[in-house]
Amino acid sequence: MMLAEWESIAELPEALEGFASVSIPEMGIFVFGGANKNMEEQNNLYQYSPTNNAWTKLTASQAPMGRSCCGMTFHENDRQVSIYIFGGLNSGVGWLGDIWKGQLDQGKVSWSQLEVDAVEFTPRDKVTCVKSETECYIIGGFGPMDCAESEDDGESDDEIRNQKDAQEAFSIGWFDDVVRLDFTNDKVESLPMKGLEGAASKAASGGFINKDNNILLFGGKGTTGRTNDMFLYDVKNQTWESEKPGGFLPAPRSFFGSAAMDNKFYIFGGQGKNDELLGGLHQFASGKWSKIETKGGSPTPRRQSKMEFYDGVLYLFGGTDQLDPEQGISSVLKECWKGTFVQGSADSDLGLLESAMGLKRRNDE
């Protein structure tokens, strides 16, 4: 039976909550944005080198506004690598509806803002980004719903973003939509919604593209609270349908770390139905969920961590491991972990069976 063996690695350059991340082959893992310990949104881009176990801050020109809970992806064309930033939240402005492209070049990033129709992509945060070779799909999110329905054609996207008071007057909620970015021309298009209504209307969910080039979406928070439902988006037909996975389903959650490799999807931690922090590593493969037990020490239960694969190794970054909603206090972590998969012994197999039967239930569902 497969086990996860965790090892502590170099910490994040600063404690950040709600940052975004991507893993880029032959370059490393990049993190952007997030709020610092003073709850000030940042716009720094950091690069982690797994080879050197070290972080580097990239120098930037014309950086995007600081933000948390934005979407992030990347694309490589003719050895030119670009990262993309989608929306997010800035406490001084409100929800953001801008999209930025950053071209990477030897420790530098050159930013430019894409021209985006405000009807195609409206201000929001907590989106789920899933990429193919030619496109990125931006799913769901949370924000002011009436921005897309405004009949005032004279109001520009810049004006919307810079009027927090006006935004507060809008109703807010979860977007039930899919927005597509075409990497070939950087054009953004809101796709028609067909099939199961409400499938995309989640915030802080996770997803990946499977071997059939369709998107699987798990968890997140919507109108009925946090969920462990799974949905399939047929990319060709632009249709949503419900999935019924087998195995031992993870508990309902949002704000979990997630990553995919070899047509397998992994999640760690998150925030549960009653706002409790969750831990534990879960795998979705061949239509079934399973819990991956740990060999040795492991990361504590947490929310808003980020997880990426690089060269077949799993990496977990940061997160928040203590919450006090009444006082607004949280413990934001700088710690990072590297996870490798090893074969377990017969004793480990017994422990996994006990866990599956509910004999070792902890706050790590």
pLDDT for the residue 325: 64
- Express each pLDDT in 301-334 by its tens digit: 999 999 999 999 999 999 999 877 666 667 899 9
DSSP string, 254-300: BS-EEEEETTEEEEEEEE-TTS-EEEEEEEEETTEEEEE-BSS--PP
Q: Is residue 130 part of a domain?
A: yes
Across 246-272, average pLDDT? 98
Helices (H), 135-263: 157-161, 164-168
pLDDT for the residue 154: 37
Rounded CA-CA distance 217/1 in Å is 26
Percent above pLDDT 70 for the chain: 86
Rounded CA-CA distance 49/58 in Å is 13
For the chain, how many residues are written? 365
Q: Is residue 28 part of a domain?
A: yes
- Express each pLDDT in 135-183 by its tens digit: 999 999 999 986 444 333 333 344 434 445 555 557 999 999 999 999 9
Q: Is residue 364 part of a domain?
A: no
- Express each pLDDT in 45-80 by its tens digit: 999 999 999 999 999 988 999 999 999 999 999 889
- Average pLDDT, rounded, for the chain: 90
Under 8 Å between Cβ of 239 and 195: yes
Other residues' Cβ atoms within 10 Å of the Cβ of residue 171: 8
Host H or E run for residue 66:
none
Point out which residues pair with 54 in neighbouring strands.
49
Give the residue numbers spanning the domain of 311: 2-356
Q: Is residue 20 part of a domain?
A: yes
Number of separate domains in the chain: 1
Q: Is residue 85 part of a domain?
A: yes
Tell me the CATH number at 103.
Answer: 2.120.10.80
The answer to whether residue 189 scores a pLDDT higher than 90 is: yes
pLDDT for the residue 1: 81
pLDDT for the residue 360: 42
Rounded CA-CA distance 7/329 in Å is 28
